[in-house]
Chain A
Amino acid sequence: MATAYDIAMKQAEPEQDSRAPVVVVEDLRKTFGPRNVLSGINLSVNRGQTLAVLGRSGTGKSVLLRLIIGLETPDSGLIRINGQNVVGLALDRMSEIRKKMGFLFQHAALYDSLTVAGNVAFPLEHHRRGMSKSERGDRVEQLLAEVGMEGNSEKMPSDISGGMQKRVGLARALALEPEILLLDEPTAGLDPISSGEINDLILKLQHERQMASIVVTHDMHSASTIANSLALLDQGNVVIEGTFEDLQESGIGFVKEFLKKS
């Protein structure tokens, strides 16, 4: 049964237009002490679209993802999720928004005291309380099969490779069937074969689930494989946003240099 809080949250949600962008970032600014990390970023992502955010290390790509999911607070600017501005929301209200988002951390951030299955089951245990244990077990097995990790459910995170940890992290991010998927360096630190497998997996999930995705990476090959559009960041600004072809045809010096060295 829906609680008064659920009803209030439902009513507070703006009407959703299926063509409207799912994630909109407007004039987003963030500094850490004297360091200006983001200086007025504007981006939007539609349902079914994958946006790759590229840039050199330390240009604020991961900070952008952390701001979108509310792990950091911007100095100014707006972040709209399905039309609702989430900047400054209280923790419990933000949690309601986060249920629609999946986040894959750069180093997977698996809970080291839980098994692989325990990690994937974790969001379900907290947000699908009506689900029976066997239903939850089936759902975990299904998610693990989806990311190619069947048969590993009882292993501990320390017993599996970095690529496998990312797969488990991805299964955990998908557990609540999110509308928005945020991926922080999904192929960083992986060998070319594992990177290719992760890219194929992300493409497959995008095709099946039609989520709005933002992928932060400095791997140009991965970005051009999985993303519909790309945004290149430099010194806290979006230098260019467009398709891979747009970037290749750009006459901007930094874009040319970035593509050449990628």
Chain B
Amino acid sequence: MSDRGVIAVEGFNPPIPERRFEPLPSVAGSVAGLINGLFEWFGNLGIFSWQVFKAAVTPPYEWRELIRQLDEVGSKSFPLVALAGAAIGVVISLEARYSLTRFGAKSMFPATLVYSVIQVMGPIITGLVVCGRVGAGIGAELASMKVSEQIDAIEASAINPYRLLAATRILACILMLPLLTLAADASGLLTGWFAQSLVEPLSFHQFIASGFKGATFDAFLPQTFKTAVYGLIIGLIACFQGMRTQGGAEGVGRAATNSVVLGSLFLILADVVLVKFILVVFP
């Protein structure tokens, strides 16, 4: 073997290309580039949001497309959300029973399940499930329309694509998230109670009466309706990623992935802010 790591064959000595090393970008340069890109992304998102808002509040309104999107986001996500809610109900039921029994607070089980599902797990699980299904769907659909010039064709037909494509999808997400959250909550409570009653018989009426004892609307409504903000985040980011896609099939894949990844990330970050806000406004 030669000193340059190439097996030498007698009588055959191919030219070995000189290795050239590109100078590594400085750390400061990389950080500056990253920050610049971040500002550019948020700037473009801001411009996009303003275009969508302007289009959404001015006529003509795209009612037919909105109804189609309500069905797409709402009805078609329902089975998945209900299933996720059901699984979460069983998990919380199993965990809560074990912990409460250890601390001798078994009587707190219904309230623990109700508060855990409705205040914490129901909204976030619904948000993440819808982000995965709807966010990826919107991102890929719009990206595919963008790369095949269908969005340009809509614009060339004197139709505002922000109104027809983005505003309807975002509004559908905003309207449907709270309703889907209610479905996930109901499903979670039902399976949570069922899992509990298999171990220790408890009537559903008793479970609900005990779980909601002393509860007020303030305890549950803000937690449910905060998911409208999740809807805004999911719809906005998916539409933004889809409508700014460039570069064929790879771009479509990237748009779908980014819609889910960024949507989930911003959804969790928003939850931190929303929980604090709700605690301050509804103490």
Q: Tell me whether A71 and B158 are in contact in the complex, defined as CB-CB below 8 angstroms, given that A107-B149, A112-B150 are known contacts.
A: no
A123 touches B157 (CB 8 A): yes
A112 touches B148 (CB 8 A): yes
Q: Which of B55, B156, B160 contacts A69 (CB 8 A)?
A: B156
A129 to B59, CA, bound (A): 13
Looking at the assembled complex, report how far the CB atom of A54 sits from the nearest CB atom of chain B, in whole angstroms.
22
Q: Which of B51, B60, B145, B153 contacts A103 (CB 8 A)?
A: B153
Chain A residue nearest in CB terms to B161: A91
Chain B 125-172 residues near chain A, CB threshold 8 A: 145, 148-150, 152-153, 155-160, 162
* Contact of B216 with A by CB under 8 A: no
Chain B residue nearest in CB terms to A125: B64
How many A-B pairs with Cβ below 8 Å? 56
* Contact of B58 with A by CB under 8 A: yes
Residues of B within 8 A of A129 (CB): 60
A91 touches B156 (CB 8 A): no
Residues of A within 8 A of B60 (CB): 126, 129
A69 to B156, CA, bound (A): 7
Residues of A within 8 A of B55 (CB): 91
Looking at the assembled complex, report how far the CB atom of A181 sits from the nearest CB atom of chain B, in whole angstroms.
12
B160 touches A91 (CB 8 A): yes
Q: Which of B150, B155, B160 contacts A111 (CB 8 A)?
A: B150
Residues of A within 8 A of B152 (CB): 66, 71, 105, 109
Contact size range, B: 10 to 19
A209 to B149, CA, bound (A): 27
Residues of A within 8 A of B157 (CB): 98, 122-123, 126, 172, 176
A127 to B58, CA, bound (A): 16
* Contact of A16 with B by CB under 8 A: no
B153 touches A126 (CB 8 A): no
* Total A residues in contact with B, Cβ cutoff 8 Å: 25
A92 touches B148 (CB 8 A): no
Looking at the assembled complex, report how far the CB atom of B71 sits from the nearest CB atom of chain A, in whole angstroms.
14
A109 touches B150 (CB 8 A): yes
Residues of A within 8 A of B162 (CB): 91
Residues of A within 8 A of B145 (CB): 111
Residues of B within 8 A of A92 (CB): 58, 160
* Contact of A101 with B by CB under 8 A: yes
A122 to B160, CA, bound (A): 13
A112 to B152, CA, bound (A): 14
New A-B pairs, 16, CB < 8 Å, besides A70-B155, A109-B148: A71-B152, A71-B156, A91-B55, A91-B162, A92-B160, A95-B160, A105-B149, A105-B152, A105-B153, A109-B152, A111-B145, A111-B153, A112-B148, A123-B158, A126-B60, A129-B60
* Interface pairs A-B: 10 shortest CB-CB: A98-B158, A109-B149, A109-B153, A103-B156, A95-B158, A123-B157, A99-B158, A126-B159, A105-B149, A71-B152
25 A-B residue pairs with Cβ-Cβ distance under 8 Å, sorted by A, are A69-B156, A71-B152, A71-B155, A91-B162, A92-B58, A95-B158, A96-B158, A98-B158, A99-B158, A101-B156, A103-B153, A105-B149, A105-B153, A105-B156, A107-B148, A107-B149, A109-B150, A109-B152, A112-B148, A112-B150, A126-B60, A126-B158, A129-B60, A172-B153, A176-B157
